[in-house]
Structure 1
Amino acid sequence: MAVLDGQGSFSEKWLSVGEKKNVPFTAGSRTDGSLVRRITEGCRTAGADVVLVVRPSAGTAPPADRLPPADPGLVALPPPLLLVTANLEGAVLFPEPGYALVAGTSAFLAGAAPAGVDQERALFARYARAAARKWPGLEATARSFPPRRVAWKHPEAVPTDTSTGRQLALMRDVAAGRCTGAEFAVGWLDARRRSQQQGERVRDPLETLLDRVFSLLEDYSIDPLFKEPGDLSDDELQNAVTELLLKAE
């Protein structure tokens, strides 16, 4: 129960340990597969094998059920509800119908909020506006958790010291022949993961550009030993990235 404060919200003390961040998500009247997948994937990336199921009530500390993350017993539970990883790395708070709050360390959120904190917050804000008639309180919740960064639209707007900036720098390097295809692929995919973990946000046309590079790398084998027929060669990868850069810049 140290996860919650006296008002039924995540406690500042718990959030401060491991620099946990808070993200709102859509929810219905009961837990569903989508919400359970967030705690399940969060458990996987945070190394937890048990979920504590707590039903908070004022002035009491109720016992917690202990279930495996993928247990079907986590589905169709009504609010108020708290799902916590046994190692306290992350939690899902389902206070009332309409939304849930997911909070945790970067390791937990890598699974529970794979699009990144800012992107997930932006998605929730759009949902809150669309569902305002059914759930009028959602817009206030969205305003409580605004994205921390702007969403970059064009390559020239991206700061060079960001992970997204690193992705673009690597694209220029491989286009100019300053790195091999394998070096580009390893560095670019690592920068993409870091960008998502750090909550960096992009929007079209930059989002489409980066998604197309990711699709190219799905058809490229970093290790020549695992190269399959139809995989891109280094030259083909270089030419494709160069063409994308020319269109974008």
Structure 2
Amino acid sequence: MSALSGDEPGEPGVLTDSWDFDEDWLSDGPKLIVPVPAGSHVDASLVRRVIEGCRTAGADGVLVLTDGPGGPGASGRTRRTVAPGRAVAAVAGIGSPALLASCDRQGAVLFSGPGSALVAGTPRFLRGAVPEGVDGGRARFARYARTVAHRWPGLRSLARSLPPRHLAWSRSRDVPAGTGAARQLELMRGLTAGSVDAPDFARGWQAARRTSQDNGERLREPLLTAFGQVFSLLEDYSVDLDLKDADDLTDQELADAVREIAEYTEGF
């Protein structure tokens, strides 16, 4: 058991003594890891990741761990909790190693050294902390690692150890059954065929989109644009008749617009 096992009040239970994520903590959920670019210190972008992760996970505090005067090891760490709204001012600029964790232990950002950080957490935490998605974040980091290889050559090895889990799909025929994206396609076809009504489509498509994001699924053109257009349509459509504005799309207008997107998307 690590020294940060969570047995004491306020402990995040996420780290080993050597500043690695604890395997027991990672397996509880389970939690996924996404490498992200970083500078030489904890900057505002890293802090915002944990803030957004706290927001989507429902946590009301950020636990900050750094090495204290005692040096490396759990006994030498300093701990403090800050409100998410004050985290950027309170934390940005600190050096490595440092851990920024949601107070409910759903997720954390681990900054072990210049060039990169690791974001780990539950799907709810990662939805805010890594809005580009697990696979999107991993693919982005691989490109970044190649770009900065002259400065931080070790990042390419890190990128290879955490590759995207899915290919990026560009055509509907490429999307595997059982994925969130497959459900989105199924609903679009059902709406245009008349077997799914507009309110059920709107609710189901947004739920499938969240599933796709949680799974880390990725899209490429032209499917990426098509799904983005449907998402924009749903922002102008209300399921609740009491909340519908005069300029909101009607059920028929939504169905017609989705049909047009499908017809003009190559490979749909």
| CA–CA separation in structure 2 for the residues paired with 1:231 and 1:120 | 34
Counterpart Cα distance in 2 of 1:131 and 1:64: 32
Residues 193-232 of structure 1 mapped to structure 2, 5 A cutoff? 193-232=210-249
Amino acid at match of 1:22: I
SS of the equivalent of 1:36 reads helix
Q: Distance in 1 between matches of 2:56 and 2:238?
A: 25
Q: Quick one: distance in 1 between partners of 2:156 and 2:136? A: 16
CA displacement 1:30-82 (0-9 Å, x = unmatched): 22221111111111222222222111443342131121123220212122111
Residue 141 (str. 1) matches residue 152 (str. 2): no
Decide which moves more: 103-112 or 89-98.
Answer: 103-112
Whole-angstrom distance in 1 between the partners of 2:63 and 2:252:
52
State the Cα deviation string for residues 132-162 of structure 1 (Å, max 9, x = none). 2333222111111101111111011112321
* Aligned pairs (5 A) from 1:118-197: 118-197=135-214
Unaligned runs of 5+ in 2: 6-13
Q: Distance in 1 between matches of 2:238 and 2:24?
A: 45
Q: Distance in 2 between matches of 1:6 and 1:150?
A: 36
From the superposition, tell whether residues 178 and 141 of structure 1 become closer, same or farther in structure 2 (CA, over 3 Å): same
- Say whether the 8 Å CA contact 2:198–2:255 is kept in structure 1: yes
Is the counterpart of residue 27 in structure 1 residue 41 in structure 2? no
1:116 maps to which of 133, 145, 149? 133
Output the amino acid matched with 2:32: K
Structure 1 residues without counterparts, runs of 5 or longer: none
Alignment counterpart, residue 74 of structure 1, candidates 91, 114, 123: 91
Taking structure 2 as the reference length, the TM-score comes to 0.88
RMSD (CA atoms): 1.5
Contact kept in structure 1, 2:18 and 2:73, CA below 8 Å: no
What is the DSSP-based 3-state SS (H/G/I as helix, E as strand, rest coil) of the residue aligned with 2:108?
A: strand
Match of 2:59 in 1: 48
Partner of 2:8: none
Q: Secondary structure at the match of 2:21?
A: coil
Q: Percent identity?
A: 50
* 1:59 and 2:73 matched: yes
Task: Please report how far the alpha carbon of residue 113 of structure 1 lies from its aligned counterpart in structure 2 after TM superposition.
Answer: 1.4
TM-score, with structure 1 as normaliser: 0.94
Inter-CA distance 220–177: structure 2 relative to 1 (3 Å threshold): same
Q: Which stretch has the larger CA shift, 162-171 or 32-41?
A: 32-41
1:9 aligns with 2:20: yes
